[in-house]
Amino acid sequence: MKHIFERKVYYSDTDAYGVVWHGAYLRWLEAGRVEFCELFGYTLPELTAQDIVLPVTNMNVRYKMSAKLNDVVIVETEVSKFNGLSVTFHQVIKSKETGKVCIDATFDVVAISAQTGKLYRRMPQVLAEIFEKEVGCLQPV
């Protein structure tokens, strides 16, 4: 399953050169990962109440093209890998008008205890089931 949402580029998203500031992309990518989990009924407060926090442990963000003021971008998020301990999200931000890719990114996420901050040896079952199913649905390349 792929989570997709649109976002208009506002003045506050841009830098002195009139293009999207690099940190704005990171906010949109985080929103994509959070909303992906929400598709399955798990909000961040609900996960925290279950003693689960999902920090990013690695990110690879490739900037390919800048979006500009008033552009509309599409943010796509899907699970590309799950190994039982961590999940890898593949995310793309592209221009709605042209379809050209602005950002191609991967984020590795693990689960830690909200109370102790210690890493879980395995992804908690409530999330592992979702991520396993998502990886199983991926089309071979």
pLDDT digit string (tens) for 65-94? 999 999 999 999 999 999 999 999 999 999
Domain count, the chain: 1
- Confidence at 137, pLDDT banded by 50, 70, 90: low
Residue 15 designated active-site: yes
Residue 141 lies in a domain: no
Instruction: Give the model confidence (pLDDT) of 91-131 as tens digits.
Output: 999 999 999 999 999 999 999 999 999 999 999 999 999 99
Position 139 pLDDT exceeds 60: no
User: Does residue 33 contact residue 87 with C-beta atoms inside 8 Å?
Assistant: no
Instruction: Give the model confidence (pLDDT) of 3-61 as tens digits.
Output: 999 999 999 999 989 999 999 999 999 999 999 999 999 999 999 999 999 999 999 99
Pick the catalytic residue: 15, 71, 104, 108? Answer: 15
Phi first, then psi, for residue 5 (nearest 5°) are: -145, 160
- What does each C-alpha distance from 6 to 50, 52, 129 come to in angstroms? 30, 28, 28
Residue 97 lies in a domain: yes
Residue 138 lies in a domain: no
